[in-house]
Chain A
Amino acid sequence: MTEKILVIGEARDGELRNVSFEAIAAAKKINADGEIVGVICGNEDLKSQAQEMIYYGVDRVVTIQHDNLETYTSEGYGQALLTVINEESPDGIVMGHTSAGKDLSPKLATKLETGLISDAVALESDGDKVQFTRPIYSGKAFEKKIITSGLTFVTIRPNNIPALERDESRSGDISSKDVDVTDIRTVIKDVIRKASEGVDLSEANVIVAGGRGVKSADGFKPLYELAEVLGGAVGASRGACDADYCDYSLQIGQTGKVVTPDLYIAVGISGAIQHLAGMSNSKVIVAINKDAESNIFNVADYGIVGDLFEVIPLLIEEIKKIKQ
């Protein structure tokens, strides 16, 4: 029985990412009656982030503040979190399957001599055993997994397990923990920011993605406009990135980001299997492409065969009308 579950929160630009709130909901699903403890690391005051975790459902939060925890490193965060994990000795750990989550969770699992289920998109609990569902073979199949020994340790894919309603009436204890973070062998010298400001692609509810059919960097402008009207983010296929129409930070697919928005609008994207691996689980898929034979139409709920430069401006107008 998982009586106590640790949820490791992750911040980006000083704010907790949505996936951290989704992780809290996942922990509740593992055991609704268990104690859920949030943990967050950083180099600045973490009180407001801790408070947010409580509003989203954790019972209490442990914060770890240290100068060496400014940016995520597996060694720094690993040391800090292991101290808390050893002290709390939880029965389960949940965190986001993000760049940091993917990097850190195997390290923690090894230190804790435990199994780890990566990239879960759903889970069901009968009060005793928990079954996790995760995509395999690039989303062409799924597997259900259980933990047979050790902790219930899981990373969850963003945008799949809905967060609980934020509730400011929830309260809980926030404590800070002093830890030693030393002997860092991998030092981050610099971070070159390429990911665009604004809506985080992996957490966006609406994504407008362009492919080679967009033809140029300029051709992406209407896509940005459409994304803005929809309150979404812009993504791209590898083809568009390779052709320099946009930065690789926008790439969606097996290599780039894996996304699960409510609405995915694929514009001028042919639908190579590597691209589908990154988006085929989107709830609703719209394809706009000149070529009626494009593979993307096989996964799309709705398709428009036509010139994107004609379709997109009309679409923007039409959406503006209903948004008024």
Chain B
Amino acid sequence: MNIYVLLKKTFDTEEKIAVSGGKIEDDGAEFIINPYDEYAVEEAINQRDAHGGEVTVVTIGDEDSEKQLRTALAMGADKAVLINTEDDLEDGDQFTTAKILEAYFEDKEADLILAGNVAIDEASGQVGPRLAEYLGIPYVTTITDLKIDGENATIEKDVEGDVEIIETSLPLLVTCQQGLNEPRYPSLPGIMKAKKKPLEELEIDDLDLEEEDVEPKTKTIEIFLPPEKEAGKVLEGEVSDQVKELVSLLKNEKKVL
């Protein structure tokens, strides 16, 4: 099977967020593989081990993105592709990303494309479905189980807590939800091997794209932090008095009861 994973690097979940010059400050921040994309990498490896084939991890980013690609290779992916847009694109949106990926996948004959259901930074969840639509293949989002038998796939999909059992066929794009698997940590031999695995670097020019082909259709005009929350009030005294005070505050002060 020809398996691909769409991967994005994101801020580490625990990072504090600061804004400077209208942008999220990323100096010195720790970057990780978007946690939902880790499920996609793990699933891709498992499917390859079960059905044979090859796993290629694809990211759009800058030269620092190599680190996350190497991590995916160390987990067990076979090949990696970095589409480096650092020099060509000022900003982009989900349209931009999907359009670049469309160009990349045009001649790839992918059987299965996996992505995270959402990236924890911009959290739009658009790129997977957009790409599937461009490629004309079916997609299922927020999956928690995937069984492939020949050309057929049986999927469990999380729908706000309910589970849908879906039957569909390859080629297919899925986006991964927590519960699908437990992503492995790269092993030491895995990390050693990853250094020698192929990592291809492309620019949008290599995909026959011009800047205007991928011009975003939305624009961020401001980034701001939520207003600092006033320190909460920890109630004191006898428990029964605290409860009385709480109810009174909720009723009279906040008017939510």
Contacts and interface: CB of A to CB of B under 8 A. Distances in A.
A123 B173 CA distance: 32
A311 to B, nearest CB: 6
B177 interface: yes
Contact of A106 (B129, B164, B168, B240): B129
B125 A102 contact: yes
Nearest to A12: B160
Interface string B221-251: 1111110010011110001101110110111
Q: Which of A75, A142, A201 has its CB near the most chain B CB atoms (within 10 A)?
A: A142
A118 B220 CA distance: 13
A148 B218 contact: yes
Contacts of B221: 131, 144-146
A185 B167 CA distance: 8
A107 B173 CA distance: 13
A74 B232 CA distance: 43
Q: What is the predominant secondary structure among interface residues of chain A facing chain B?
A: mixed
B166 A189 contact: yes
Contacts of A186: 138-140, 166-168
A297 B257 CA distance: 21
B165 A147 contact: no
A188 B140 CA distance: 11
Contacts of B247: 315, 318-319, 322
Interface string B148-177: 000000100011111111111100000001
A102 B163 CA distance: 16
B24 A299 contact: no
Interface string A130-153: 010001111111111111111000
B167 A137 contact: no
B246 A254 contact: no
A186 B168 CA distance: 5
Interface in A92-115: 98-99, 102-103, 105-107, 109-111, 114-115
A195 B160 contact: yes
B109 to A, nearest CB: 18
B197 to A, nearest CB: 30
Interface string A235-265: 0000000000001111100111100001100
B124 interface: yes
Contact of B129 (A107, A193, A247): A107
B257 A319 contact: yes
A199 B133 CA distance: 34
A102 to B, nearest CB: 5
Nearest to B168: A186
A311 B239 contact: yes
Interface stretch (A31-39, A48-56, A282-290): A282-290
B147 to A, nearest CB: 12
A314 B14 contact: no
Interface size class of B (residues with CB under 8 A): 35 or more
Interface string A199-237: 001100010000000000000000000000010000000
Interface in B102-158: 120-130, 132-134, 138-142, 154, 158
Given A119-B124, A318-B243, A322-B247, A106 B163 contact: no
Contacts of A292: 234
A284 B133 contact: no
Q: What is the predominant secondary structure among interface residues of chain B facing chain A?
A: mixed
Contacts of A194: 161-163
B50 interface: no
Nearest to B226: A142
A314 B229 CA distance: 28
B59 interface: no
Contact of A192 (B140, B165, B226, B232): B165
Interface stretch (A60-68, A160-168, A173-181, A302-310): A302-310
A118 B250 contact: no
A160 to B, nearest CB: 13
A283 B256 contact: yes
Contacts of B229: 299, 301
A137 B24 contact: yes
A81 interface: no
B220 A143 contact: yes
A305 B232 CA distance: 12
Interface stretch (B1-9, B90-98, B199-207): B90-98
B13 interface: yes
Interface in A270-288: 273-274, 277, 281, 283-287
A75 B138 contact: yes
Contacts of A74: 129, 139
Given A191-B164, A318-B243, 6 more contacts: A99-B158, A106-B128, A146-B218, A147-B218, A185-B169, A311-B243
6 contacts: A143-B223, A185-B169, A201-B161, A277-B120, A286-B250, A300-B232
Q: Nearest 9 pairs between A and B by C-beta?
A: A249-B161, A115-B217, A106-B129, A195-B161, A110-B133, A106-B126, A115-B218, A144-B222, A118-B124
